[in-house]
Amino acid sequence: DTAVSQTPKYLVTQMGNDKSIKCEQNLGHDTMYWYKQDSKKFLKIMFSYNNKELIINETVPNRFSPKSPDKAHLNLHINSLELGDSAVYFCASSLKQGGMNTEAFFGQGTRLTVV
């Protein structure tokens, strides 16, 4: 049983295209996240949603738009893809906002390559 699943696992696309990455968690968690891991392996938070409400929006170009149709899903849509968007994107979730329940569980990542 996959706890946090992302699709697709690999995505190769041309500059200028629009693409989406989907994320689903079956853990019953309230909070979901998108992180970006660059070529130097640094993980940086992009967005966080709690019960479908946006609570963290880091300095991310507005070409990136998260959408949470329900608390089990957090999708990431990227418009007008650029070469610099190439990275591994990780979805994560945690039960609640506080206490031990902030332990984060990650998906397997989506490797996006923009050519």
Q: Which parts of this chain interact with other proteins (CB under 8 A)? A: 4, 31, 33, 35, 40-45, 48, 50, 55-56, 90, 92, 94, 97-100, 102-109
Q: Which residues contact 103 (CB under 8 A, 6 or more apart)?
A: 94, 95
Lookup result for tokens 């994107």: 89
Min CB(37)–other proteins separation in Å: 9
- Name which of 81 and 107 has its Cβ closer to other proteins: 107
Min CB(80)–other proteins separation in Å: 27
Q: What's the CA gap between 36 and 92, in Å, rounded? A: 11
Min CB(88)–other proteins separation in Å: 9
Do residues 8 and 110 lie in contact, with contact meaning Cβ atoms separated by under 8 Å? yes
Q: What's the CA gap between 50 and 57, in Å, rounded? A: 12
- Name which of 31 and 68 has its Cβ closer to other proteins: 31
